[in-house]
Structure 1
């Protein structure tokens, strides 16, 4: 099929001149207003690079060529050669010219060109508009900033959540769900009115996609519509939560936060051949409704938990620690100490944002510019992760650690096989020694074994060859014990502060500890002989921590309502958003802990609320007061994610492979994704659910990219949702959609002979509702017209011209699933 190419239009930032101005005069409106994700990119990728390679000559203490790059103002002002940075314009930025070595008179760093991956990061940063924490504040980087803990603890997110009594009033007497009481009270205060409930078909499609990522079947629709009991919807919710598909759906939400991928990306894009075990662990954990506090502890310190004699539990907990290993790594980094600290930084950033909603990584180079997180807080945590073995080797190409997870039977099989090899080696040695002893005259003591063996009889040499061939075959057949990416405790030690984030300039050694602003007098200390991971995990999940429960219930709310009660789901710090419903957020957080950290119980409460079950109808009065629906006067229409669109197509076509778990990657562990011709042999034509499709960093499946799949190299709990023409063109032109709609057509043609009944079945499966009369008549007319044109040869299709009826039904099915109604939840 011919692919349609779309040319995108790139909006570039309009920049005024930045020459002949002092740092104090620089207009920071020239730079993009940074988002938290873009600031994280700067802090993790760009600032460490500038510190390592630039600050010595162009920093606070020295400004060769009058250039300073440790502040945004310094880069915008530039030095004697001009502005080093023009946000949004790499070609105009002398910083990019210098690191590219494009000008013989301007090569930086002067001693050696940066690796390509770091140059690409600089270019990407400039293209992003050069996001920098100094966009709104000019000044030197703080090295040892003092944190005002008393002031910091006044921030709402650092105070313990309080379970307020749900509001009560005349307008709230019909709100048995506490969620509705809080939401209705806020609506009333804002002068808004809630929408009426959604119709039952719409509600069923909404909750089925929400909880399983799949559309309801016609049979499930009929069953729900025929149930007139007051608990009909609750029974649907319980059925969906109990289905294996629930875990597959909601595991994908968590995997976005865990930055899950099947390859390393960056400089050495090798396969993470056992990452799938972590993915399957998440699916199992959610299906089992594993308490969230246990889920967290296992991922941070599962290797340190006592599992008794339960081998499966022990393995599960070892697999869980893969959470700490999944991040991308520069595996060819020549500076091993730098690689270690970069990996630790990625772990701290991930743990901070995923579990606490804090950008802890921003304190690597200096005290956090916005949150009460000190430089010493960061290195207190760094000591915990530096005392953890994440890597087996830092030598190029570096290797991450994997734990063996063999069963007793597998261990016994390996031992038996190794004994067979040892016995064979002994037999060969004895055979050789016996033949050597019978040589006349005896062999020279200095003779090599090969020279000696040449004097053996032909029969003896043949016997030895047979024995050695067997030995080599048995060695090749040695069973490999299964392994899983994960960590264990390493050499225990505290970590020194890295001044300006550089491992080359060390300051005071900091005892391993947790961020001081969140600590209380009765928090546990870390034993001197342990890394502190287990203590850290238990501190996070002790039920008193102000962030852990809040962050998770906010993630669940975002998954059901399209946005969080705290819109910045990965940032609860001072630069994050304040909650729209603070009392509700706190009530949910406390309830979450009280109910044993049950994720399923929280799902159930949210989707059974009237707030969730409202219609998505537009209301002019409400929209005038609350155009963004931040107070939840209606259900917000939202587009399905890439995975739900693909899985929905597979389900409606009858082609979905319901197999759960396992690996479909065509690679060996640690093998390079791309071969010598730069070809990626990953296959995306599997009929398995999308959660099992390979996630290759730097080479994502094209459909996933098009429908706003997450960047698997970084944590992201709040995927973007775009609406662009190429998405519609993909549904109308892609080979995958064409193949699946042929399968739909074939099934409809085989199951019924009546066109009207076929159309009704298709609408029920695709939209969860029957077609309206005009839609039926339009469909019949389309099919008839298409067949006629096909017979006359006046229309091209992907089908066989000798079967115009099949071609017509395929075209009709493709039109149905290409509509907005299929890809949107209302």
Structure 2
């Protein structure tokens, strides 16, 4: 496969060794390590080490300004041993484990900084350097920085092969490469593929029968319209966007507290996809919903909830350096906006000009001014707290009235207790003829029992006030004090350079730079600039994401990086044509689905002739379908669906913790449960402790934007499918379902295959399944009466065993 020069060079540029070609998984891992180095390690080295161990001064003959110098070391030997922090002198120095070797001199590192330094060494000590390649790597004429164009549809010889305009681009390239496309996938497999792709669930036998029986023109279109109209569509495609938005129900990091109201943002995303909200509006609401015009309180609440996109990222809530905490939060927001919406790693320009893309540090701080003028946190003191929007509604008003009544009643109880106690004191004093006393004097004479009773009632008032009315609210952002930001030299909030006016990177061609009013943060102007039809990246990046989620690989393989280190598109004309079409169709994602899933390209079989496989082993030119494993959530949801156990309830939270409560109690145990039968999108996502079933099936890191999930094949996944309670419960449910939906052994076997695989069993499968049922019915693993068994002798457990075997197969978990 031909790779861009930047990708071929990347490994050598990062670590200073002979370059080699990297695959997609390598590039994702390297990109993650670069982000970590640039945001955490480089600023630390510059602030604490390079002053004494850099180009101008080399105490002890040691330089710490490059990977080569770190490995080379100084008079005392190497500073680091790559992959072995415990064997690295640098770690011994910062840990102060050796009294003779304590560094740095200008202040001890925090425990978190020490841990991060060790993690960096253990993961390979990636240390990007420019290596004199500025002209190659910081090219302002890179393809993705140019404005969109609408290419002419290419001509093809076999016009009968075409179904949508997409097919012209694919067939033209296949013809140019001399590759014959594969045959169409059969109708059963197409229905299973499109149903999982659009709603994340298997087609029912009834849906399958209806489609197979509909031979009239437009049968496929009717299926697609039914799926797009299903509320299950928003759950499926909302989950895709939540990967990009790094959604989680907890903060992660040091203070892993509950995002008790993040679910409102999740529900907003699901509803936005179900309603086919134009993508440009979807983006604008998430960046600046609080600044948009609105009609009615419901829409206002929706806009406020949308800004949770900027709020739900991970934060170091116990950071004692408030200036650093604030800039770290801003950096996370810039990085997320850059990668999610533009496919650019803007966060790499925090400490210095971007090493690979033509983004200057000053442009980073122009964006930082926008987000520093945005209120994300209501307080920065330890433990910091994020801002939340109250969401007024008639229900909220009623809740507030009930709460006020409870507080008033509790206060009356306290006052009545005080009055009763004062009266009791007066009676005691009257007996002694002590004369009149003021209330204050009387209260000094309360008995211990009276004081205890009053305190108990006062505690009720205090508890009510502390808990508050718990009115509907959502995580989100709003305007703060408007400010332009000074460049932070080497990323240090204490070392400041020139002030930079709020703005956007200049290298992106198309729309003019937004004019940001003096009294606004600039978020709304930023959103309008991003969604301007002339913007070169926003539509391209989203089209590529949708393509990847349908085909398993994007037209640009590096879905989150359209910069110099990213891949070039395999079909640039198709990418631009679809991007222009998305905009012309009013930014409708559902129309984009229609174009894709009704194309002939989408419906190709994964089986291809040997010549085609030899010519295009990676299927770069899309001459055949791609075998894809469905994602973790779709596997779980499909298990529940075929077992007849899926709860279709939408919206709301399954968290059992209060907002801002800690996930790990004093026993360090996360008590979150995942036994609900609702769709997986509604299960809690706990940073640092993702549901184990999802972890095994490659759920992404919910702390960072992910547009391209990995798909591994490891033994533990097979073991999970054999031993998981979820799978066993689904097998039991499917066995019961077969007993109620079909008669006879053969009838139930046929029904099982239709429910699970969407096809009838082969003769060989039917024979093997009957043998297995006989063995399971015997209970000892040996066939009953020569392997024959009648229906009355088959216990439910035997059917459950067979169902478990079918569910644990590759065919259930893969689309072909």
TM-score (norm 2): 0.90
How much does 1:325 deviate?
1.1
- 2:324 is matched with 338
Per-residue CA distance 1:557-616 (angstroms, 9 max, x = gap): 000111111110100011111011011100011100000000111011111110000111
- 1:366 is matched with 352
- Cα distance in 2, alignment partners of residues 25 and 542 from structure 1: 39
Q: How does 1:529-548 map to 2 (within 5 A)?
A: 529-548=519-538
- Cα distance in 1, alignment partners of residues 812 and 141 from structure 2: 46
> Matched residue of 2:656: which SS?
coil
How much does 1:781 deviate?
1.0
- 1:376 is matched with 362
- Cα distance in 2, alignment partners of residues 691 and 557 from structure 1: 21
Which of 157, 166, 184 is equivalent to 1:179? 166
How much does 1:688 deviate?
1.2
Cα contact 1:26–1:77 (8 A) shared by 2: no
- 1:170 is matched with 157
Per-residue CA distance 1:100-130 (angstroms, 9 max, x = gap): 4444433444576644444443333333322
- 2:257 is matched with 270
Cα contact 2:510–2:536 (8 A) shared by 1: no
- Cα distance in 1, alignment partners of residues 111 and 462 from structure 2: 42
Q: In structure 2, do the counterparts of structure 1 residues 475 and 399 end up closer, same or farther at CA, with 3 Å as the change threshold?
A: closer
Q: In structure 2, do the counterparts of structure 1 residues 442 and 317 end up closer, same or farther at CA, with 3 Å as the change threshold?
A: farther
Matched, 1:67 2:62: yes
Which of 99, 116, 121 is equivalent to 1:121? 116
Which of 571, 581, 587 is equivalent to 1:581? 571
Which of 542, 553, 559 is equivalent to 2:549? 559
> Matched residue of 1:497: which SS?
strand
- 1:249 is matched with 236
- 1:12 is matched with none
Per-residue CA distance 1:735-794 (angstroms, 9 max, x = gap): 221222122222223444411111111111111111011100110011112222438899
How much does 1:179 deviate?
0.5
- Cα distance in 2, alignment partners of residues 332 and 369 from structure 1: 31
- Cα distance in 2, alignment partners of residues 463 and 779 from structure 1: 72
Matched, 1:318 2:304: yes
How much does 1:41 deviate?
2.3
Which of 616, 623, 645 is equivalent to 1:633? 623
- 2:502 is matched with 512
- 1:572 is matched with 562
- 2:373 is matched with 387
- Cα distance in 2, alignment partners of residues 615 and 270 from structure 1: 47
Which of 584, 591, 609 is equivalent to 2:581? 591
Q: In structure 2, do the counterparts of structure 1 residues 491 and 218 end up closer, same or farther at CA, with 3 Å as the change threshold?
A: same
> Matched residue of 1:633: which SS?
coil
Q: How does 1:699-718 map to 2 (within 5 A)?
A: 699-718=689-708
- Cα distance in 2, alignment partners of residues 752 and 416 from structure 1: 53
- Cα distance in 2, alignment partners of residues 478 and 298 from structure 1: 29
Q: How does 1:72-83 map to 2 (within 5 A)?
A: 72-83=67-78
Cα contact 2:276–2:588 (8 A) shared by 1: yes
- 2:383 is matched with 397
- Cα distance in 2, alignment partners of residues 804 and 137 from structure 1: 71
- Cα distance in 1, alignment partners of residues 204 and 162 from structure 2: 31
Moved more, 643-652 or 738-747: 738-747
> Matched residue of 2:389: which SS?
strand
How much does 1:443 deviate?
6.8
Moved more, 434-443 or 609-618: 434-443
Q: How many residues align?
A: 785
- 2:8 is matched with none
Cα contact 2:775–2:782 (8 A) shared by 1: no
Matched, 1:54 2:41: no
Q: How does 1:217-228 map to 2 (within 5 A)?
A: 217-228=204-215
How much does 1:454 deviate?
5.3
- Cα distance in 2, alignment partners of residues 533 and 659 from structure 1: 35
- Cα distance in 2, alignment partners of residues 689 and 449 from structure 1: 62
> Matched residue of 1:531: which SS?
coil
Which of 309, 312, 315 is equivalent to 1:329? 315
Which of 254, 265, 290 is equivalent to 2:277? 290
Q: In structure 2, do the counterparts of structure 1 residues 111 and 159 end up closer, same or farther at CA, with 3 Å as the change threshold?
A: closer
Moved more, 807-816 or 536-545: 807-816
Q: In structure 2, do the counterparts of structure 1 residues 31 and 206 end up closer, same or farther at CA, with 3 Å as the change threshold?
A: closer
How much does 1:469 deviate?
8.2
Q: Supply the RMSD in Å over aligned alpha carbons.
A: 3.2
Q: In structure 2, do the counterparts of structure 1 residues 464 and 720 end up closer, same or farther at CA, with 3 Å as the change threshold?
A: closer
- Cα distance in 1, alignment partners of residues 122 and 241 from structure 2: 29
Q: In structure 2, do the counterparts of structure 1 residues 771 and 63 end up closer, same or farther at CA, with 3 Å as the change threshold?
A: same
Matched, 1:280 2:267: yes
Per-residue CA distance 1:310-340 (angstroms, 9 max, x = gap): 1111111111111111111111111110111
Matched, 1:740 2:733: no
- 2:596 is matched with 606
Which of 39, 61, 64 is equivalent to 2:34? 39
- 1:20 is matched with none
- 1:811 is matched with 801
Matched, 1:788 2:788: no
Cα contact 1:153–1:159 (8 A) shared by 2: no
Could you list the runs of 5+ residues in structure 2 that have no partner in the other structure?
A: 1-12, 785-791
TM-score (norm 1): 0.89
Q: In structure 2, do the counterparts of structure 1 residues 467 and 132 end up closer, same or farther at CA, with 3 Å as the change threshold?
A: closer
Cα contact 1:31–1:131 (8 A) shared by 2: no
Matched, 1:137 2:131: yes
Q: In structure 2, do the counterparts of structure 1 residues 684 and 97 end up closer, same or farther at CA, with 3 Å as the change threshold?
A: farther
- 1:11 is matched with none
Cα contact 1:30–1:87 (8 A) shared by 2: no
Matched, 1:86 2:73: no
> Matched residue of 1:507: which SS?
strand
Per-residue CA distance 1:677-705 (angstroms, 9 max, x = gap): 11111001211111111111111111111
- Cα distance in 2, alignment partners of residues 595 and 468 from structure 1: 62
- 1:685 is matched with 675
- Cα distance in 2, alignment partners of residues 771 and 26 from structure 1: 56
Per-residue CA distance 1:455-480 (angstroms, 9 max, x = gap): 9xx9x999978986885687588632
Q: How does 1:655-734 map to 2 (within 5 A)?
A: 655-734=645-724
